[in-house]
Structure formats: C-alpha cells, structure tokens
Amino acid sequence: MKKLRGSLWAKTFAIILLALLALTCAASVIAAWWLDEAGAYSRGWDHAAESLVRSRAQEYAENAGLNYLESGTTGVYDDTNFRYALLDARDNTLLFSNWQSEAAWESSLRVTVPHDVSVEYGEDTFDAGEAVHDGPEVRVTPTPRPADGEKVYVLTDFFTGESTRFSDRREVEDWEREHSVLVQGYVLKSLAVQDDFSQRLEALNAVWGLRAALPWIAAASLLLGLLLFVFLLSAAGHRDETDAVTPNVVDKLPWDVLSAALGFAIYALLYAIAETFRYNTPELVLCGGAFLLAGLLFLLWCMSTATRLKLGTLVKGCLLVKLLRWVWKLVKELFLALGKLPLVWKWALGVAALAFVDLLWRMGFQRDGDVLAFGWLLLWLLIGLATCYAVLAFRRLRKGAAQIAAGDESASVDTKRLIGDFKAHAEDLNNIRAGLSRAVDERMKSERFKTELITNVSHDIKTPLTSIVSYVDLLGKEELANDKAKEYIEVLQRQSARLKKLIEDLIEASKASTGSLPVTLTRCELGVLLEQTAGEYAERLEASGLRLVTEKPAEPVTVMADGRHLWRIFDNLMSNICKYAQSGTRVYLSLTREGNKAAVTFRNISREPIKLEGTELTERFVRGDSARSTEGSGLGLAIAQSLAQLQGGDLAVTVDGDLFKVTLRFPVAE
Amino acid sequence: MVNILICDDEKDIVAALKIYLEAEGYHTLAAYNGAEALELAAREDVQLVLLDVMMPVMDGITAMARLRETSNVPVILLTAKSEDTDKILGLNVGADDYVTKPFNPVELLARVKSQLRRYLQLGGGEVKSGVLQCGGISLDDKSKTVAVDGEPVTLTPTEFEILRLLLQHPGEVFSPAQLYRRVWNDEPYGAESTVAVHIRHLREKIEIDPAQPRYIKAVWGQGYKLEGKGS
C-alpha cells in the first residue's frame, strides 16, 4: 500500500478509473431518474413511452399552433413522426389536418397568440400620452384616461405590437378565443422517420433492459469511486522517492486562493451543465465532459487539501490569514507607537476617538432609534469599563505607595494586568521600595558596624589598660626607698585611674549617642528615685560639706523611663555636684510637675566661676574647669543628656553667675 | 593547699594575677587559652578558676560550659566586655562571678576569698531550719545572727529586720514605703530617706563592693529587692 501511494502510475490509473466510475454512476443515476420520471418503474413500458413522447409532442404542438396564428403556416414538422390537426377555438371548425388516422399517441393543446393584459385604475395612469412632433412644436395628445373608479383592461398583442383597451373582462376573453387555435397532436407509433421521438424510444429501449440494475450499478460505482477517492486522498502528496509528504506546485499556492478559483470554476461548470442539459446526445456528451472536468477539479482540490493537512500548511498558506496577520502586526505596532505618547496626549486621543465614534453613530443612525440607543449604550459601557480599569489600577498603586510610606519593606506592587503608564508607575514604586530597603540595610549595617567597633575597641583598649593598672598597683605595693619613685608611682596611679574613667565614659557616651543602648521603659516614681539618690549620696555630700534639701509634691509623680539609665543620670549629676560645689552651701534637689511634664531640678553653687554657657557645657569634652586640673573627663553631662534623650526626655543646663542648675524633663505617664 | 587556675591570653595580666594571689598564699596554675585551661583543670585539682572570655582557640564561655559538665568548681569570669548582656550570658552559662577589666585588685581578692569560702566551707549545704539563705548570705532567725560567706556580720536590729524581710521574699521589689510599714510598723511619712540610709549601711556590711551590690539591688524609681538564688 505504501509503495502504491507514491507511485505516479497508480495515482493516474486511479484517477482514470475514478472518472469512469463517476460517469457510470452519473449516467445510471440520470437514466434511472429519467425512467422514473417517465413512470417506467411504476407503470410499465407503455406508459413510459407515452409520457416521453407526450412531453415532446406538446412542444411540437405549441410550435405548430403558434406558427399558424402568426402567419397561417401549416405543414410544419412534415419530416417527423408528428402529425397535427388545427381547429378553431370558438367553434371547433377544422382548419387543417395532416393526420390520416394512423396509430398514434395523442395530445391536445390550445394555443393562443402571446399577449399581455394589464389593468388600469383611475389614479394609476402614469403615461402622459403620445407626443407628436408638429414642426417645431411638440403636441402631446393625452391618453384617454379612465374616469376615477373605472377599471380598464389593456391588452397588448405580441405578434403585432398593438394595444387594445377593453372595459370588460368578457371582451378580453372573446379576443383570446378569437386569437386561439386548438391543436391536436399525433405521434405516429410506427416511427418511420428518425426524429426526436424515435430517438427517445430507442433510448428507452436501450435502457429498459437495465432498469432494474441501474440502482445497483449506481451504488456499486459510487462505492468503488469512494474507495478510490479515499485511496487518492491518502496518496496525496506522497512521492516515489521519499517517505515524507512533499508538496507539488498546486500545493504551494495559497489555499484560499486555490479554493476560491476551483470553487468558481466548478460552479461555472455546474451552472453550464444545468443550463444546457437536454436528453440529446451532443448535449449529453458536453454535459458529461463538463461534469467530468468539474469532478476532476474537485478531486484536485481534495487532494491538495489532503496534502496540506498532512503537512499542516492548510491555514498557514492562506492568503487571507497572511493578510490578517500583517494587519494585526500593523495594529500592534500602531498601538505600541501610541503607547509611547505622553499620558495626557493618550487620554486626549482616547476621548477624541470616542467622541468621533459617538458622532458617527448619531449621524449615521438618525432614523433608527433602536440602533442609536444601542450605540449610545455601547459607548457608555466602553467608557465605564475604561474608567473602571483606570480606577482599579490606581487603587492598587495607592495601596502599594501607602505600604511603602508606612515603611513596610516586604510589600511590593503586583504588576499583573497593569498596562502602559500604570505598569511603569508600579515598577517605579517597586524600585523606590527596593532602594529604600537597600538604604535601610546599609544604615543597619553601619549601625551594627559602629556597635561592633565600640565593643571591640573598648575591649582592645581595656586589656593593656588592665596591665598598666595592675602593675602600677603592684609597684605601689613594693617597698621603695626612693621618694621620687614613690611620687612618680602616685602620679602613675592617678593618671591610670583617670584613663580608665575616661575610657569608660567615652564608651558610654558613644553607646548613648548612637542609640545602641538597650532601653526598657517602665513606670518610675520620681519621688522614690529622689529619696534613693539622697540616701546613696548622703555620706559623700557630707564629706564635701554640702547639705541636701529635697522638695517634692505629696502625690507621686510617675514617668515612663529606664530605671538604670535614670539612676546613671542622677549619679552623674550628683557626682558632679560633689566635685564642683562650693563647700558649706546647700544643694537643692526638687521634683515639680509642669503641666503634663515632670521636672527634676538640681541646683548648687559652684566653687569655681563657670565661664561657659549651659549649652556648651553639655558638649563632649567640655569641662567647667578650664584648667582641667581636677579629675573628670568632660563627658558626664554629655552622657547624661544622651541618656535623657534616649528615654524621651531632655536635659538642660542653666548657668546664672555661680548658680549651676540642671533641669531634667520627662512626660508624665498616666 | 588551694589551687587557683588563671586563664588569660594576655601574659602580663596572668603574671600580675599570679603575684597578687600568691601573695595571699594561694598556689596558682596558668593557662593561656580555653583548651589549655580545660586540660589543666582535668589533670590538676583546682578549687577556683579565673577565666578570661576573649581568648583564641577556645573562648571562656565555651570552656566554662565544658567545665560545668564535669565540675562544680567556682569560676570567676574576668573580661573587658562589660555589657549587661555579656554579664548575664556569663552568669547564665554557669559562672559564679563576673569582674570587669580593669579591675580593682582588692575587690578581686575579696571576691576570690568569698567564692573559696563558699566552695570549701559551705559546699555541704546543710540547711538548718529557721535559717534563711540566699547566695552567700545566711540569716538565723532564732539566734538573730547573720553570716556572709561564712563570716559573721553584725547588724543593727533595723538592718536585721530589713534583711530578713528581703530574704523571706527573694526577687520581690519593695518600695521604700512598703519597707517602712513592714519594718517600722508606722505610716511612711518622710520615710524614703531613712530607708535609703539603712539600705546603704546594710550594703556596706554585707556586700563586697557596696557601689556594685550583688545582693541588695536597687530598682531605681521603684524600690529595692534581694537578688540571688534563694532557698
């Protein structure tokens, strides 16, 4: 089977065989139909013969009648088996006859002169009348018009061309009878002459024998034809050389063009067949040839389609499809170009387009209210959808932007189903977020680095310092006879202690200002803290010759603060007081409530004059003692201020002559 | 003979510590990293370990964790890391005390002695009834005596009352007003300063370093509490 498929000989043979089978089938079908029409299957030979003859005889009779009416000719069809007699239509008078009472099939027919009858009513006359040229003038004779309500019959004789007007239907009938003739046709059963009739009967005889077999022949040829058709389809496109399906010249044409051309051709052929079909040999042969040709074209089309289907190029090859694709590409490019326009232009263009469409609808469908309404609805639906989409897209963008503003780093705007400018905006937002989170990460990294620096550096400094302190201390314990050595050792001890304090303060200050100190806010009663401080420092104040006066309100004053850090501040300030206050004076430690803030004030008289402003004193390494002769790093107030700020409060220093005042303020916790 | 193991990667510090401790009559062993320390501790019989935290090979915290698997010997961590988080971490892992560098040699010696006393004399842990204990503090309510790390301490009646109250509720914070009511049985008018002064005296008597109390801790702005493992 595979070998056969590729063979050109097999295909050619199959086509020829198919053609023959098709013809056979067609012929048998037509013959059977012809016979059935003639009543051969139902009524028998006689009836069939008679009906075959009669139809032709009627034609002959009509022709003979018309000939006589027109020109009085008789003796037509003398060379055929047709005889006829003419009788007057009014009184059946014999006008002519060439039948000699031979055995014949009879048929009769009344033939009238061809004519036309039209009816006119009073208002319906359009004919203005006859125009008569009289020299330079033109006179119009108006056609006599029937009065309103009067019916007029206008009869036109096709042979003479004259028109006669009758006012009565009976008059029309009279005229018809006058101009008619009765034709009695006789087809001689002897059929001596070779004419149409004899041919028909010969054909009937020829086919009569086969009449029973005709359907079977038709069916069998049809079946075989189908098989061959299927074979040809499966063989379509296959060649001897290769196993693959190869297209030939026809297969490479665009399918729609091919289909259109072949379809047109086949239609034309079929139309021609329908027009010229007669039961005459020349016409039959022509029709058969045309039918065969049509069939071949159809086969060609089928085979080409089969090949294309096998190759998968059916749709691809279509010219129409190519055209559509090209148009689509054009449209896409157009939209792309439009998309690059600035936003406002795009909006303006869209509005203009919609307005134009609206205008067209209104103009074009002025008359039809329904269509206008439909168009209006459609327009508004489009507008609604477009604005809805825009609103939804904007909402998504809003949400995304709000999340980013709130600092949510993980939120990202979903760009699914956003187009054009909306998508660009969403992507920008996402970029901002990415940039933000990058910046935050950098900041955190630098913070971590700073903290690590503080802890590592502090460790690295403290280790050699420990050795210094230990060995200086050991030195101090040694029995040295050299007084100078003892003096030097004292200096070393003092300075190394100072160094230690300085380093600790420095680290504390760094931690406090970078905010890397952990702060746990709890409820702290400032009154209790005040008394605790007083208790802790009682002896030291006494040793410095200072008297402490505490003032606080009766009801407790609570703030949200970190107890340890608060204590550190108080410790710093009190230790400052012990160091720098004038001996013999009073120190005031008071707690007051100022609106919704709690204020703790430390007041003391300074021993040495302070030449700096309060704000300067809280800076790092600024010491009130400009000679820098006493112990102190200059960081105490700076640390205290940083700690206060860490907890949400603030520290202010005021210098008024010798009065040194430090005020701590914290918001009261309810 | 008391053996103390000193472990620090700084040779100078180890040498200095040796001098201090040997002057007090202790015998010392030296290690320069965590691995060496563990080795020595396993081989020798030590009663106290002075351990630095930042060391190569094996750091102090890891070494101590390993040590604690097999031994209950007191460990004092010695380090420049002075953050609260570091202290808490060290104490949680099993250290008995924590001293930051640079240290005061006197204070260090006092702590060493305190730990040794606890380990050698109070290691048995016999608890008599009517005796309140917390860490190194033991208070006998019947005989009205107080001892810290075995050493008896003389307290005034008020101080005794305060200490007993705190010992009875270890970890609980008492505001000065509450303390005043319970101890003086009187309404606390102008009480805070009195309470603060007494607390200070108490601290001076029972704490090694009153400025950095181990037992009676101030919760600033709220009151005072006794910290430590109670019984």
Token pair recorded at residue B101: 């560098």
> CB burial class (10 A; 0-12, 13-18, 19+) of residue B133?
buried
Best residue in A452, A469, A470, A475 to probe B by mutation, most B CBs within 10 Å?
A470
Rg value, chain A, Cα:
62
pLDDT in tens, B121-140: 765 445 556 677 787 888 88
Predicted pLDDT at B129: 63
CB pair distance less than 8 Å for A522 and B196:
no
Q: What is the Cα–Cα distance from B141 to A459, expressed in whole angstroms?
A: 45
CA distance A430 to chain B (A): 39
Token pair recorded at residue A232: 């040809």
Q: What angle do CA A477, A481, A485 make, to 5 degrees?
A: 70
Spell out which residues of chain A touch residue B80, defining contact as CB-CB under 8 Å: 458-459, 462-463, 466
Q: Residue A448: which H helix or E strand, with range? A: helix A420-477
Report which of residues A271 and A312 the model is more confident about.
A271
pLDDT in tens, A284-306: 788 888 888 888 888 888 888 88
Predicted pLDDT at B230: 43
Spell out which residues of chain A touch residue B20, defining contact as CB-CB under 8 Å: 470, 474
Nearest to B196 among A458, A474, A532 (CB): A532
* Percent of chain A with pLDDT strictly greater than 90: 7
pLDDT in tens, A46-94: 887 888 788 888 888 888 888 888 888 777 788 888 888 888 888 888 8
Q: What is the mean pLDDT of residues A472-484?
A: 82
Half-sphere exposure of A543 (CA within 13 A, CB side): 9
Q: What is the Cα–Cα distance from B141 to B133, expressed in whole angstroms?
A: 11
Pick from A613, A608, A619, A600: nearest CA to A666: A600
Task: For residue A564, name the pLDDT band (cuts at 50, 70, 90).
Answer: confident
Task: For residue B91, name the pLDDT band (cuts at 50, 70, 90).
Answer: confident
Nearest to A531 among B19, B81, B193 (CB): B193
Best residue in A451, A452, A460, A463 to probe B by mutation, most B CBs within 10 Å?
A463
Task: For residue A330, name the pLDDT band (cuts at 50, 70, 90).
Answer: very high
Q: What is the mean pLDDT of residues A418-430?
A: 83
Q: What is the mean pLDDT of residues B44-53?
A: 89
Q: What is the mean pLDDT of residues A252-267?
A: 86
Amino acid identity, residue B132?
Answer: L
The highest-confidence range among A370-384, A627-641, B81-95, B171-185, by mean pLDDT, is B171-185
Predicted pLDDT at A600: 93
CB pair distance less than 8 Å for A539 and B81:
no
B86-90: long-range contacts, CB 8 A cutoff, minimum separation 24: B86/B53, B89/B61, B90/B53, B90/B60, B90/B61, B90/B64
| Range in A59-63, A147-151, B147-151 the model is least confident about | A147-151
Pick from B171, B193, B189, B172: nearest CA to B181: B189
User: Which of A 47-86 lie inside 8 A of B, CB atoms?
Assistant: none
CA distance B145 to chain A (A): 26
Q: What is the Cα–Cα distance from A350 to A122, expressed in whole angstroms?
A: 61
> CB burial class (10 A; 0-12, 13-18, 19+) of residue B139?
buried
Best residue in A532, A552, A562, A572 to probe B by mutation, most B CBs within 10 Å?
A532
Residue corresponding to tokens 């702290």: A524
CA distance A635 to chain B (A): 19
Interface residue B84 vs chain A (CB under 8 A): yes
Predicted pLDDT at A366: 63
**pLDDT beyond 90 at A663:** yes
pLDDT in tens, A238-251: 777 777 777 777 77
**pLDDT beyond 60 at B169:** yes
Interface residue B17 vs chain A (CB under 8 A): yes
CB pair distance less than 8 Å for A566 and B221:
yes
Spell out which residues of chain B touch residue A563, defining contact as CB-CB under 8 Å: 219-222
pLDDT in tens, A585-604: 999 999 999 888 999 999 99
Token pair recorded at residue A554: 């009766």
Task: For residue A665, name the pLDDT band (cuts at 50, 70, 90).
Answer: very high
Spell out which residues of chain A touch residue B200, defining contact as CB-CB under 8 Å: 535-536, 538-539
Predicted pLDDT at A327: 93
Predicted pLDDT at A601: 94
| Residue A494 neighbours by CB distance under 10 Å | 12
CA distance A458 to chain B (A): 7
For residues A655, A661, A664, A668, the Cα torsion angle rounded to the nearest 10 degrees is: -120
Q: What is the Cα–Cα distance from A312 to A305, expressed in whole angstroms?
A: 10
Q: What is the Cα–Cα distance from A96 to A84, expressed in whole angstroms?
A: 8
Interface residue B103 vs chain A (CB under 8 A): yes
Q: Which residues, other chains included, contact A355 with Cβ-Cβ below 8 Å and sequence gap of 6+?
A: none
CA distance B106 to chain A (A): 10
A581: β partners: A606
Residue corresponding to tokens 């963008």: A397
Contact criterion met (CB below 8 Å) for A522 and A653: no
Best residue in A531, A551, A567 to probe B by mutation, most B CBs within 10 Å?
A531
Spell out which residues of chain A touch residue B220, defining contact as CB-CB under 8 Å: 524, 529, 532, 563-564, 566-567
CA distance B192 to chain A (A): 5
Contact criterion met (CB below 8 Å) for B9 and B52: yes
Predicted pLDDT at B6: 94
Token pair recorded at residue A603: 């007041």
Q: What is the Cα–Cα distance from B134 to B147, expressed in whole angstroms?
A: 11
Interface residue A529 vs chain B (CB under 8 A): yes
CB pair distance less than 8 Å for A463 and B101:
yes
Token pair recorded at residue A450: 């700073």
Predicted pLDDT at A395: 87
Residue B143 backbone phi and psi in degrees, to 5:
-90, 0
CA distance A592 to chain B (A): 16
> CB burial class (10 A; 0-12, 13-18, 19+) of residue B193?
middle
pTM value surpassing 0.90: no
Quick check: helix, strand or coil at residue A310?
helix
Nearest to A535 among B17, B101, B196 (CB): B196
Predicted pLDDT at B231: 35
Pick from B73, B80, B53, B69: nearest CA to B5: B73
How high does pLDDT run on average in chain B?
A: 84
Q: Give the ipTM.
A: 0.70
Report which of residues B49 and A168 the model is more confident about.
B49
Token pair recorded at residue A306: 């089969």
CB pair distance less than 8 Å for B192 and A527:
yes
Contact criterion met (CB below 8 Å) for A592 and A580: no
Strands B48-52 and B3-7: parallel
Residue B94 backbone phi and psi in degrees, to 5:
135, 5
CB pair distance less than 8 Å for B102 and A564:
no
Spell out which residues of chain B touch residue A466, defining contact as CB-CB under 8 Å: 10, 13, 80, 101-103
Interface residue A550 vs chain B (CB under 8 A): yes
Nearest to B222 among A500, A539, A563 (CB): A563
Amino acid identity, residue A540?
Answer: R
A120: β partners: A152
Amino acid identity, residue A221?
Answer: S
CB pair distance less than 8 Å for A535 and B16:
no
Q: Which residues, other chains included, contact A280 with Cβ-Cβ below 8 Å and sequence gap of 6+?
A: A199
Report which of residues B39 and B133 the model is more confident about.
B39
Pick from A273, A297, A299, A295: nearest CA to A284: A273
CB pair distance less than 8 Å for B196 and A534:
yes
**pLDDT beyond 60 at A499:** yes
Contact criterion met (CB below 8 Å) for B74 and B64: no
Q: Residue A14: which H helix or E strand, with range? A: helix A8-37
Spell out which residues of chain B touch residue A478, defining contact as CB-CB under 8 Å: none
Interface residue A217 vs chain B (CB under 8 A): no
Residue of B nearest to A528 (CA): B221
CB pair distance less than 8 Å for B200 and A538:
yes
Q: What is the mean pLDDT of residues A503-514?
A: 78
Spell out which residues of chain B touch residue A578, defining contact as CB-CB under 8 Å: none
**pLDDT beyond 60 at A479:** yes
